[in-house]
Chains A and B, each alone.
Chain A
C-alpha cells in the first residue's frame, strides 16, 4: 500500500497543477499578511480563502485525478491487491499531496506571521476542510462512471456546501424567527463542514461580537473544551463518512 501511495504522491507532485496551487496559496497568504498591518485582518482574509478556494480546488482536483487515473485503477485491480488497498492508497495519495500543498502555501506563512493559537486553529481547520472535500470528491467520483457527470456532482456539492447552504439557513431562520432558534442554529452548523470550520476560527477572532445574546450560546458551546472537541469530532466524521460510503460503493462496483 505504501508503495502505491508513494507512486500516487510522486505522480501528483510532478503534476504542474499542484505546484501552481501551492504557489497561488503562497502568494495570496504572503500578500494578505504583507499588506495588512493588523495580523487579525490578514487572518480574516485567509479565512475567506480557506472557506472558498481550498474546498473548490480540493474537490475539483480530486475528482479529475480520480477519473484520470481510472486506467491505472483498472491495472492495479488486475494485480493481487485488495480493492481496499487500491482505493485507500489513491485516497491517501491525494490527501497527502493536497495537504502538503496547503501546509506549504497557507500553513507556513500563517505560522510565520501569526503563529498563535488563532493561526493554529486556522491552519488545522483548513487542513480538515481539505481532507473533507477530498472525501466528498471521491464519493462523487465513484457515484458515476461518466467524468462530466462526476465533476458536475462534485461542483454541485461544493456549490451547495459553500454557497447555498448558508442562504438556506438564513431563510430558514427568517421564516422561523418567531421561535427560539439558538439551539437549532447550532445543529444547522453541524450539517456543513465549512460552517463548522468558520465558526471554530471565528470563536478565536471575533469573540466580542459572538459574545452577544446568541453569541453566549455559541461561546458556551464552542469555547468549552467539550464544544471544541465536538466540533473537531464532527469535522472528522465529515471525512470518514463520505470516504467510507465511497469505499462501500467502490468495493461493489464493476470497474
Chain B
C-alpha cells in the first residue's frame, strides 16, 4: 500500500499537490491567477467580474460555480490563454467588443496544447472561442450566442486557425458570422454541434484536411455551409436544413477532393449541394428532401460517385452548367422517375436523366423561373425527355431504384 502511494505521489505530483483557490471578486481573481502555481484549481463563485484581457500563462483549471459572469463591457478580450493544459468551465462570458485590427474573443488560445473549454456560455461576444496554433484542444458543451450585425462587424462563434487534432463537440452556436470556422485545421473531430441563424455560414472551412464532421445540424444560416480547398473530409450523419436565399446552399463544396459524404440529410434548402471543382467524392446514402435544386454539379467536377441516395420532392433534382459530365450516378432513388422494371430486380430498366430542360433554361435566364410548373415548362420537359438535345447526354442514372433506398435514420 505504501509502495502504491509512493508511486502515485511520484507519478502525479501536480495533481496531488494542486491547490484549490476560491475566488469571489475580480481583485481576488486577478491576484490568484498571478500567484497560483502550475496545476492549481481556481473556483470562481457566482457574481459579476468586470475586467478585460486577463492572461492565463500557466496550467490552471478555472471552474465557475453557478456561472459567474465575466464581462468585458465591449472594451477588449476576456481570457487569453498562452499555456498548455488549461481548463475553463462553467463560466458565462459576455460583451466582448469589436475591432477591425485584432479579433477580440471571449477566450483566445494562443500556441497552447491540450486546452479544454467546456460547459461555458458566451453571450454577445465578437468572437466566441478562438484557437490559434493550438493542438489537441477540446471545445465541448458550450453555448455561443451572438447578436449579429453586419458581416464585417460580426465575428465567428468557434474559430480555429492552424490547429491539429482538436475536438469540437456538443456546442450550440447562434447569431455569429460563421458558426464554426476553420483554416488550416487538420485531423480534428467535429461532432454533435448545432449551428444556426448565423449571418454567413453555419460551418466554414478552408485548407483543413482529414477532419471528420458527424451528427451536426446546420440550420437557417444566411448562406448555409461552405467548405473549400480541402481533401480527405469525412461528413456523416449531418443535417443541413432550411437554408433559404439567393445564394444559400445546404452545403457548398469548392475544390474538395477525395472525401466521403454519407448518410446526411439535406432538407428544404434553396440548393441542397453545390459542387464546384470537386473530384473523387463519394456521395452515398444521403437524403435530399424538398430542396429547390437538390444537387448542383458544375461542369468542372469529375470522378464523383453519387450512389444510393434518395431524391424526394425536390423541385429540380440535378442542375449543371455544361455538357461535359464525368460524374457517376448509380442506383439512386428519384421520385420523378417514370420508368418500369420488367425483371423485378428493383432497378428501373430505362435510365433516368435528372437534369430537366427547364432547369437548364433557368441556368441561362433565372427570370424564367416565373414559368415554373406552367404548361410551357412541362411541355418542354416532356419533349426533351423524348428527344434529348440540350441537356447533358451522359449525365444519367443507368439503374435508378424503383423504391427508395433503405437508409438508416440518424440516431444521434
Contact = CB atoms under 8 A, between A and B. Distances in A.
A and B co-occur in one complex:
yes
Interface of A: 38, 40-41, 44, 47-48, 51-52, 162-163, 166-167, 169-170, 173-174, 177, 181-182, 184-186, 188-189, 195, 198-199, 202, 206-216, 218
- Residue among A40, A51, A214, A218 with most chain B CB within 10 A: A214
Nearest to B364: A177
A209 B367 contact: no
Contacts of B316: 209
Interface stretch (B59-67, B321-329, B371-379): B371-379
Contacts of B312: 38
A195 B370 contact: yes
Nearest to B380: A170
Contacts of A48: 373, 378
B369 A214 contact: yes
Given A41-B313, A51-B375, A166-B376, A210 B369 contact: yes
6 contacts: A41-B313, A166-B374, A177-B365, A195-B370, A208-B292, A210-B369
A174 B270 CA distance: 24
Contacts of B370: 169, 185-186, 188-189, 195, 199, 214, 218
Contacts of A212: 246, 270-271, 292, 362, 366, 369
Given A209-B316, A211-B244, A211-B292, A198 B374 contact: yes
Given A47-B373, A52-B375, A169-B370, A211 B364 contact: no
- For the complex of A and B, list the 8 residue pairs with the smallest distance between their C-beta atoms, beginning with the closest: A209-B292, A209-B315, A166-B376, A208-B292, A214-B366, A166-B374, A181-B367, A216-B246
A208 B373 CA distance: 14
Contact of A166 (B247, B290, B375): B375
B374 A195 contact: yes
Nearest to B365: A177
A209 B372 CA distance: 9
Contact of A208 (B268, B365, B374): B268
A206 B315 contact: yes
Interface of B: 244-248, 268-271, 290-293, 312-313, 315-316, 335, 361-362, 364-378
Contact of A202 (B368, B372, B376): B372
A181 B368 CA distance: 9
A218 B270 CA distance: 14
Given A208-B268, A214-B369, A215-B270, 17 more contacts: A38-B312, A40-B290, A41-B313, A48-B373, A51-B375, A166-B371, A166-B375, A170-B371, A181-B365, A185-B367, A189-B370, A195-B370, A210-B292, A210-B369, A211-B248, A212-B270, A215-B292
- Residue among B270, B361, B369 with most chain A CB within 10 A: B369
Say whether chain A's binding surface is mostly helix, strand, loop, or mixed: helix
Contacts of A218: 369-370
A218 B369 CA distance: 10
Contacts of B315: 206, 208-209
A226 to B, nearest CB: 18
Contacts of A209: 270, 292-293, 315-316, 369, 372
Contacts of A41: 313, 335
Contacts of B378: 48
Nearest to A182: B367
B385 to A, nearest CB: 17
Given A208-B269, A209-B270, A216-B245, A198 B373 contact: yes
A113 to B, nearest CB: 16
Nearest to A215: B369
A206 B292 contact: yes
Contacts of A189: 370
Contacts of B291: 208
B374 A211 contact: no
Contacts of B290: 40, 208
Nearest to A168: B376
A215 B374 CA distance: 16
Contacts of A173: 365, 367-368
Contacts of B374: 51, 166, 195, 198
